[in-house]
């Protein structure tokens, strides 16, 4: 009787076996498809999905789109990092000048630190991102690998140290005041870049193995003396020379260089011309012009040529007068920045107030 019941039980299941098997196949297919979908959180580095604080700097970002969240996360990481680096760089620069040189720091160093330390943070990437299904808001985590960054910045520091050694040796042979001022500016800019890199290493807790030392206080004091004595006279010819003259004067003054209206009192002459010429192009609706700027910087005492700059630029506009004005303004801005570079200076190219 028991054997008969067992046989019946088996017989009850057997007729359904094909249907059960088919159902199981369908279920497994859906399961496989579901497993094949991407997880809402996709780490870049699967080996270290948690991004520990010991190894990574991190920052969060949110946005209505995935791109917005990524941008905010990277911007936040850069902002926090740059703020710490700028503060540390300022501290290092003040320390290298000594406690008695506060005025010297404010006149020659402070304005440069922000420019040099605001370089885009390299090595930062998106570590993971996800979407809040309840709100639809996207999230992103920006990360910076401290070890990789530390290795890269250590190499950069070694390169700058070698450049500083070479420039410090070359400075001993430079006699002209203009050339010496330019050389000192370049040395100080490199020194500040060095402080920035050392600050970055401090922020991420990476060992600084550099043993190079430079007498920053002596270099900065020499530069301050030269700049306080030098007077520049600007003489730009041509119909549009006034635009270039005003821009050059604003740019130099903003960087602590003195201008004189008396040519006889000048220690450096900036002479040149601005020329605007029409261009014939296959566009009847737009007027194109070319702006050309040529300037020379001369030390009148020795008649030595310090720098010669020649640049040209093309501009177009539906209005002829506007095209000419744009070209005159653009070429004047370009030669102003080229002159700053020749003097060993740099800045963020602000828009001067020229009408």
Q: CATH number of the domain at 310, please.
A: 3.30.160.150
Residues 304-314 have a mean pLDDT of 95
Residues 122, 63 within the same domain: yes
Residue 280 domain flag: yes
Residues 338, 244 within the same domain: yes
Residues 152, 141 within the same domain: no
Using the 3D structure, point to which of 146, 178, 196 is the last residue of a domain: 146
Using the 3D structure, point to which of 116, 146, 176 is the last residue of a domain: 146
Name every residue whose Cβ is closer than 8 Å to that of residue 128 and which is 6 or more positions away in sequence: 41, 42, 43, 44, 49, 51, 140, 141
Residue 72 domain flag: yes
Residue 239 domain flag: yes
Of the candidates 325, 107, 70, 96, the residue with the CA atom closest to the CA atom of residue 217:
96
Angle at CA of residue 197, ends 193 and 203, nearest 5°: 140
Work out the pLDDT band at 93, boundaries 50, 70, 90: confident
Residues 162, 141 within the same domain: no
Residue 176 domain flag: yes
Instruction: Give per-residue pLDDT as tens, 232-268.
Output: 999 999 889 999 999 999 999 988 899 999 999 999 9
Residues 154-175 have a mean pLDDT of 93
Q: Is the pLDDT of residue 142 over 90?
A: yes
Residues 176, 197 within the same domain: yes
Instruction: Give per-residue pLDDT as tens, 267-293.
Output: 999 999 999 999 988 888 899 999 999
Residue 73's domain is classified under what CATH number?
Answer: 3.10.28.20
Residue 129 domain flag: yes
Work out the pLDDT band at 220, boundaries 50, 70, 90: confident
Q: Maximum CA pair distance of the chain?
A: 131
Q: Which residue has the higher pLDDT, 33 or 325?
A: 325
Residues 263, 333 within the same domain: yes
Residue 36 domain flag: no
Using the 3D structure, point to which of 210, 227, 244 is the last residue of a domain: 227
Q: What percent of the chain has pLDDT over 90?
A: 53
Distance of alpha carbon 250 from alpha carbon 86, whole angstroms: 26
Q: What integer pLDDT is reported at residue 84 of this predicted model? A: 86
Residues 209, 256 within the same domain: no
Distance of alpha carbon 187 from alpha carbon 166, whole angstroms: 10
With tokens 């520091």, the residue in question is 157
Residue 244 domain flag: yes
Residues 237, 338 within the same domain: yes
Work out the pLDDT band at 7, boundaries 50, 70, 90: very low
Work out the pLDDT band at 100, boundaries 50, 70, 90: low
Q: What is the DSSP letter of 349?
A: -
63 near 138, Cβ under 8 Å? yes
Q: Is the pLDDT of residue 204 over 70?
A: yes
Residue 16 domain flag: no
- Domain of residue 331 covers 231-342
Residues 215, 291 within the same domain: no
Per the structure, the count of domains in the chain is 3
Q: Is the pLDDT of residue 168 over 60?
A: yes
Q: What integer pLDDT is reported at residue 42 of this predicted model? A: 37
Instruction: Give per-residue pLDDT as tens, 19-53.
Output: 444 454 444 444 444 444 333 333 333 344 578 88
Residues 83, 151 within the same domain: no
Q: What integer pLDDT is reported at residue 47 of this predicted model? A: 40
Residues 246, 163 within the same domain: no
282 near 305, Cβ under 8 Å? no
Q: Which residue has the higher pLDDT, 28 or 166?
A: 166
Residues 270, 318 within the same domain: yes
Work out the pLDDT band at 316, boundaries 50, 70, 90: very high
């Amino acid at each position: 009787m028991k054997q008969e019941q067992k046989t019946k039980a088996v017989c009850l299941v057997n007729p359904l076996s094909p249907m059960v098997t088919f159902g199981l196949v369908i279920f497994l297919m859906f399961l496989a498809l579901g497993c094949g979908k991407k997880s809402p959180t996709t780490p870049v580095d699967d080996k270290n999905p948690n991004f520990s604080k010991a190894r990574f700097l991190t920052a969060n970002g949110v946005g209505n789109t995935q791109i917005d969240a990524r941008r905010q996360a990277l911007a936040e990481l850069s902002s926090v990092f740059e703020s710490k680096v700028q503060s540390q760089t300022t501290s290092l620069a003040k320390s290298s000048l000594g406690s008695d040189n506060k005025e010297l720091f404010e006149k020659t160093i402070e304005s440069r630190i922000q420019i040099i330390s605001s370089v885009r943070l390299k090595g930062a990437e998106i570590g993971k991102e996800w979407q809040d299904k309840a709100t639809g808001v996207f999230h992103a985590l920006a990360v910076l690998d401290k070890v990789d960054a530390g290795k890269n910045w250590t190499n950069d520091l070694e390169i700058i140290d070698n450049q500083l050694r070479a420039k410090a040796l070359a400075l001993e042979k430079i006699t002209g005041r203009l050339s010496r001022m330019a050389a000192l500016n370049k040395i100080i800019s490199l020194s500040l870049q060095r402080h920035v890199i050392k600050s970055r290493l401090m922020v991420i807790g990476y060992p600084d193995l550099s043993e190079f030392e430079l007498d920053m206080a002596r270099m900065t004091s020499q530069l301050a003396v030269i700049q306080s004595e030098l007077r520049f006279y600007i003489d730009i010819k041509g119909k549009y020379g006034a635009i270039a003259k005003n821009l050059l004067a604003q740019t130099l003054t903003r960087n602590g260089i003195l201008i004189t209206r008396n040519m006889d009192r000048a220690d450096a002459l900036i002479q040149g011309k601005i020329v605007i010429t029409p261009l014939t192009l296959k566009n009847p609706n737009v007027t194109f012009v070319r702006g050309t700027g040529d300037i020379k910087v001369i030390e009148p005492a020795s008649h030595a040529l310090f720098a010669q700059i020649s640049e040209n630029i093309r501009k177009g506009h539906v209005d002829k007068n506007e095209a000419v004005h744009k070209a005159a303004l653009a070429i004047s801005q370009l030669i102003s920045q080229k002159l700053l570079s020749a003097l060993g200076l740099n800045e963020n190219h602000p828009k001067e107030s020229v009408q």
